[in-house]
């Protein structure tokens, strides 16, 4: 436990304590963090430091595994998994890939790898967020989690072979059915939540919440489960506290890492041939290219039609015409700028817009309530999103209809009678 | 006439893979929902009493606090206190039944002050002047307050350490909203506790009485405080120094490495692809709005050049740090509408994606096959249904047969 001390003057005793304290905080906030002594040994590439660091990197790089699950991976499997994960993320040093698979060596290189991961992003915070204890009944207000899913794995070679189109129709029907079930289950869950929230109103010590959540009610029903939840919560609190400590002290760690890097011999700059790792993302490149080309084509067509209509409407090329055109240019420029901004990685999107899971809180209708999103606003936003997406879907379907009509050709071909109810 | 229409192997694999992926993500959502439903349904049924009567491991330090432990298992001491309290309450009920209507307003302050031992005495000195019907009304509304205000003379225990044997609930402070009816039931519970009659606990009837244990409350409030602190430390001076140090470290790592720099890692490629997919969707949405004047009229014109919040899929790339945020709703119907819309939006995203995939695989198929034969017509009909009607409806094809001579 570190003592907080305001350093007006540089006290050498403080300086020597600062590093171990920083590393201790780091170690406590990460899952399976080794002791500061292990870190020190790793700097000098001592072999005894390696296994602990392999384990740490494995936990850090596969956070989706539950606490006990990593034990089911053999040390070799863990080493290979770490190597693959780091390569996938673009780890720049070759030395890591050349470490033996039995996990007996490589303390210093692993230390560098850990520092590299820490430098690239808020790793402790991200790990804590992914595995956090949910105390409330949460609902995401956006779909970014679902949209970020990687998509189907590259279809394997031994797959079905040729398939009848009726199988596709059947799969589509099955999908529709599943969505309907999902909707029904969701409605039931909301009704139950509503009941639980209103039956426990006034019970929560936190006035802004007012009522209990399912998790909280459950812990009262099941005391043993409640004790486990409390332990998880306390563990998370300790890790959160350690993360805050780490953020306060990390500068001394980075200075130290410079020395670690300096202690490494420089790598020879000959390109080594490494086996290709299957990149999961490349399967999505082809459809993306097609999509972009299709968009470009549609835009051109639409623009052409618009331009013709506009020029006909304006009539003549007087000063009105150039004024109107300038105004149009400006509007388009603004639109494009907004589009660019919206596309920027983690740009205005995640700040300006409600994002992520929110805890549901039931209030009395008409009560002003405290801070937080209001359901009617979210409903409104979702409705307009729904409307826009429906427009896109109809347009795509319309394109298909046109294309098919074209392919079928003019009469004397068969007559198509569209299904009723359009 | 229903001839089979076979697709090419490559197309088959891709299409089936996409559809299976869509089915799997649906199934995953359903699984999570089922889990939540199980828990919720169980909570709304009668609660089983706990099997174990093991002594509560969290003792002592809470003597002056009001929180009962999560287990709410009564110890012999608690039972004794319960007994005493029950007797005192029985007496209070007897006394109150004989109290006048006129004196009702004054009851509260006199009840609040002092112990139950003294209050009957003060009450007894006041002459009862009105009828019993007032008394019965008093007995209906008074008990909750009575239970709250009563001090057990033997020990300085606040009343919310009342434990009822039959149910696991611990009485709490929700009394403001307590209906008189349930208040009466509270009293009945306490009275019947002495006779140890087990009464099943249901959330509907007694949910208001619940109270979270102290240890949990402390941990939970510390938890939300720490999260809020963590998400706010993203911007500060010390952070800038650390950021510079980190950037320099990364650069040094790159320069000391044996590999040529500026190779895109697989993760970066994936991120870039997602980025571009998002951009495509945004463009499509924008185009859709431009080309459909109807939308403009229904939803009102945009502020110039600004993409309204509603149409944006979120950043998602860099996981933002979670911080406690609330979503307030006021009725079950509102919640259901919100949830249904969310699912609808998710479904539309999926449908659009599938539409693009199907278009890419099926349209070339139609153009390549030999036209106007029966298999081709069957193909066209099936493709039309999938692409234009979401697989839900089919069109009819009329073919004019040539005259048979």
Encode chain B (405 residues) as per-residue pLDDT tens digits.
455 667 676 777 888 989 999 999 999 999 999 999 999 999 999 888 764 333 344 444 444 444 444 444 555 566 666 677 777 777 777 777 766 554 444 443 433 433 444 444 444 444 444 444 444 444 444 433 333 333 334 443 333 333 333 344 444 333 333 344 444 444 444 444 444 446 788 888 888 888 999 999 999 999 999 999 998 876 566 678 888 999 999 999 888 876 665 567 778 888 888 888 888 888 888 888 777 754 444 444 333 333 333 344 444 445 667 878 899 999 999 999 999 999 999 999 999 999 999 998 888 888 776 666 777 778 888 888 889 888 888 888 777 666 655
- Give me the pLDDT at residue B74, please: 53
**How crowded is residue A400: how many other Cβ atoms within 10 Å of its Cβ?**
21
pLDDT digits (tens, 9 = 90+) for A213-233: 999 999 999 999 999 999 999
Interface contact flag, A295 B335, Cβ < 8 Å: no
Residue B327 DSSP SS3: strand
Confidence band of A272 (pLDDT split at 50, 70, 90) = low
Of A129, A123, A134, the closest CA to residue A56 belongs to A123
Query: What does the alpha-carbon distance between residue A261 and residue B256 come to, in Å, rounded to a whole number?
Result: 9
Cβ–Cβ contact A232 with B under 8 A: no
How many residue pairs bridge chain A and chain B with CB atoms within 8 Å of each other?
Answer: 614
- Give me the pLDDT at residue B377, please: 79
The closest CB to that of B216, out of A145, A219, A266, belongs to A219
Cβ–Cβ contact A231 with B under 8 A: no
- Give me the pLDDT at residue B114, please: 39
Contact criterion met (CB below 8 Å) for B205 and B44: no
Cβ–Cβ contact B233 with A under 8 A: yes
Structure tokens given for B24: 């799997």
Contact criterion met (CB below 8 Å) for A405 and B364: no
Concatenated DSSP letters of A267-290: PP-PPPP-PPPP-GGGGGHHHHHH
- Quote the percentage of chain A above a pLDDT of 90: 44
Query: Which residues neighbour A408 within 8 Å (Cβ) at sequence distance 6 or greater?
Result: A414, A416, B371, B380
**pLDDT, chain A, mean:** 83
- In the block, tokens 């319309």 appear at A398
Task: Give the single-character DSSP code of A343.
Answer: H
Residue A386 has pLDDT above 90, yes or no: yes
- Give me the pLDDT at residue B391, please: 83
pTM above 0.80, yes or no: no
Of B354, B85, B349, the closest CA to residue A171 belongs to B354
- Give me the pLDDT at residue B293, please: 58
Residue A359 DSSP SS3: strand
User: What percent helix, strand, coil does chain B show, rounded to 5?
Assistant: 60, 5, 35
Of A183, A32, A212, A3, the closest CA to residue A114 belongs to A32
**How crowded is residue B401: how many other Cβ atoms within 10 Å of its Cβ?**
5
Contact criterion met (CB below 8 Å) for B360 and A399: no
Structure tokens given for A179: 């969505």
Chain A residues near residue B263 by CB distance under 8 angstroms = 90
- Give me the pLDDT at residue B156, please: 36
Mutate to test the interface with A, among B179, B315, B353, B397 (most CBs of A within 10 A): B315
Interface contact flag, B380 A404, Cβ < 8 Å: yes
Cβ–Cβ contact A72 with B under 8 A: no
Task: Give the single-character DSSP code of B6.
Answer: B
**Strands A357-362, A138-140: parallel, antiparallel or unpaired by DSSP?**
antiparallel
User: What percent helix, strand, coil does chain A show, rounded to 5?
Assistant: 65, 5, 35
Cβ–Cβ contact B321 with A under 8 A: yes
- For the residues A30-46, what does the mean pLDDT come to? 91
Residues 240-269 of B with CB under 8 A from A: 241-242, 245-250, 252-254, 256-261, 263-269
| Angle formed by the axes of helices A223-263 and B214-232, nearest 10° | 30
Query: What does the alpha-carbon distance between residue A200 and residue B206 come to, in Å, rounded to a whole number?
Result: 8
Task: Give the single-character DSSP code of B181.
Answer: H
Contact criterion met (CB below 8 Å) for B284 and A339: no
**Strands A357-362, B326-329: parallel, antiparallel or unpaired by DSSP?**
parallel
Contact criterion met (CB below 8 Å) for A355 and A147: no
Highest mean pLDDT of the ranges A99-108, A287-296, A365-374, B328-337:
B328-337
Q: Is the dihedral of CA A51, A56, A59, A61 positive or negative?
A: negative
Report cis status (omega within 30 of 0) of the bond before A412. Answer: yes
- Taking the CA of residue A228 and the nearest CA in chain B, the distance in Å comes to 11
- Counting every residue written for chain B, the total comes to 405
Residue A36 has pLDDT above 80, yes or no: yes
Residues 59-88 of B with CB under 8 A from A: 70-72
Residue A140 dihedral angles phi and psi, to the nearest 5°: -75, 145
Cβ–Cβ contact B115 with A under 8 A: no
* B47 DSSP β-pair partners: B201
Query: What does the alpha-carbon distance between residue B185 and residue B143 come to, in Å, rounded to a whole number?
Result: 9
Structure tokens given for B311: 């149409």
- Give me the pLDDT at residue B236, please: 62
The closest CB to that of B327, out of A141, A167, A291, belongs to A141
Query: What does the alpha-carbon distance between residue A361 and residue A366 come to, in Å, rounded to a whole number?
Result: 14
């Amino acid at each position: 436990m570190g003592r907080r001390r305001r350093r007006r003057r540089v006290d050498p005793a403080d300086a020597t304590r600062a590093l171990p304290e920083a590393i201790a905080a780091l170690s406590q906030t990460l899952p399976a963090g080794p002791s500061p002594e292990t870190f020190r040994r790793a700097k000098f590439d001592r072999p005894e430091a390696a296994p602990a660091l392999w384990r740490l990197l494995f936990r850090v790089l596969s956070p989706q595994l539950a606490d006990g699950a990593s034990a089911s991976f053999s040390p070799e499997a863990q080493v290979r998994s770490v190597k693959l994960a780091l390569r996938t993320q673009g780890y720049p040093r070759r030395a890591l890939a050349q470490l033996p698979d039995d996990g007996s060596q490589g303390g210093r290189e692993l230390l560098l790898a850990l520092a590299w991961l820490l430098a690239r992003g808020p790793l402790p915070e991200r790990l804590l967020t992914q595995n956090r204890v949910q105390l409330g009944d949460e609902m995401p207000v956006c779909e970014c989690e679902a949209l970020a899913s990687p998509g189907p794995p590259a279809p394997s070679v031994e797959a079905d072979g040729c398939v009848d189109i009726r199988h596709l129709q059947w799969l589509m029907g099955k999908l529709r059915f599943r969505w309907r079930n999902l909707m029904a289950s969701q409605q039931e869950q909301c009704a139950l939540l509503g009941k639980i929230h209103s039956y426990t109103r006034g019970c929560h010590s936190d006035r802004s919440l007012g009522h209990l959540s399912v998790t909280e009610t459950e812990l009262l029903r099941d005391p043993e489960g409640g004790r486990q939840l409390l332990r998880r919560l306390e563990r998370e609190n300790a890790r959160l506290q350690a993360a805050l400590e780490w953020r306060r002290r990390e500068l001394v760690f980075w200075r130290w890492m410079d020395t670690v890097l300096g202690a490494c011999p420089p790598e020879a700059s000959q390109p080594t041939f490494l086996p290709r790792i299957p990149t999961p993302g490349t399967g999505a490149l082809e459809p993306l290219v097609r999509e972009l080309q299709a968009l470009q084509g549609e835009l051109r067509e639409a623009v052409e039609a618009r331009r013709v209509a506009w020029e006909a409407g304006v009539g003549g090329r007087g000063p009105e015409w150039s004024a109107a055109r300038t105004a149009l240019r400006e509007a388009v420029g603004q639109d494009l700028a907004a589009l660019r901004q919206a596309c920027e990685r983690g740009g205005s999107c995640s700040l300006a817009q409600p994002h992520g899971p929110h805890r549901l809180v039931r209030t009395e209708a008409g009560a002003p309530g405290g801070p937080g999103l209001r359901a009617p606003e979210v409903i409104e936003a979702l409705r307009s999103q729904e409307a826009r997406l429906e427009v896109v879907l109809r347009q795509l379907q319309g394109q298909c209809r046109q294309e098919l009509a074209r392919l079928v050709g003019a009469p004397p071909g068969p007559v198509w009678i569209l299904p009723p109810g359009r | 006439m229903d001839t089979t229409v076979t697709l090419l192997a490559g197309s088959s694999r891709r299409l089936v893979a996409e559809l299976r992926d869509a089915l799997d993500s649906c199934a995953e959502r359903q699984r999570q929902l089922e889990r939540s439903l199980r828990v919720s349904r169980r909570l709304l049924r009668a609660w089983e009493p706990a099997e174990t009567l093991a002594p509560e491991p969290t003792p002592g330090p809470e003597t002056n606090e009001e929180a009962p432990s999560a287990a709410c298992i009564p110890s012999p001491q608690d039972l004794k206190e319960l007994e005493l309290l029950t007797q005192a309450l029985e007496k209070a009920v007897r006394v109150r039944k004989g109290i006048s209507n006129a004196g009702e307003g004054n009851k509260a302050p006199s009840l609040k002050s002092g112990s139950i031992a003294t209050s009957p005495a003060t009450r007894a000195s006041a002459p009862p002047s009105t009828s019993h019907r007032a008394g019965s009304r008093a007995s209906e509304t008074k008990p909750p307050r009575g239970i709250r205000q009563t001090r057990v003379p033997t020990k300085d225990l606040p009343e919310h350490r009342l434990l009822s044997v039959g149910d696991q609930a611990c009485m709490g402070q929700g009394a403001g909203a307590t209906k008189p009816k349930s208040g009466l039931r509270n009293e009945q519970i306490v009275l019947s506790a002495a006779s140890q009659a087990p009464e099943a606990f249901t959330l509907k009837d007694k949910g208001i009485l619940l109270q979270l244990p102290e240890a949990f409350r402390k941990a939970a409030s510390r938890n939300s405080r720490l999260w809020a602190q963590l998400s706010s430390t993203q911007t500060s001076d010390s952070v800038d120094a650390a950021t510079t140090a980190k950037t320099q470290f990364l650069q040094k790592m790159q320069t000391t490495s044996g590999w040529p720099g500026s190779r895109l890692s697989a993760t970066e490629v994936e991120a870039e692809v997602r980025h571009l997919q998002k951009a495509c969707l945004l463009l499509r949405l924008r185009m859709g709005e431009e080309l459909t004047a109807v939308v403009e009229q229904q939803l009102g014109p945009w502020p110039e050049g600004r993409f309204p919040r509603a149409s944006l899929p979120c950043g998602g790339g860099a996981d933002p740090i979670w911080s406690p945020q609330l979503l307030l709703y006021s009725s079950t119907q509102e919640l259901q509408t919100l949830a249904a819309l969310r699912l609808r939006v998710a479904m539309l995203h999926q449908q659009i994606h599938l539409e693009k995939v199907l278009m890419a695989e099926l349209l070339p198929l139609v153009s390549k096959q030999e036209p106007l034969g029966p298999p081709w017509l069957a193909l066209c009909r099936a493709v039309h249904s999938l692409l234009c009607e979401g697989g839900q409806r089919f069109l009819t094809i009329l073919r004019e047969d040539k005259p048979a001579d």
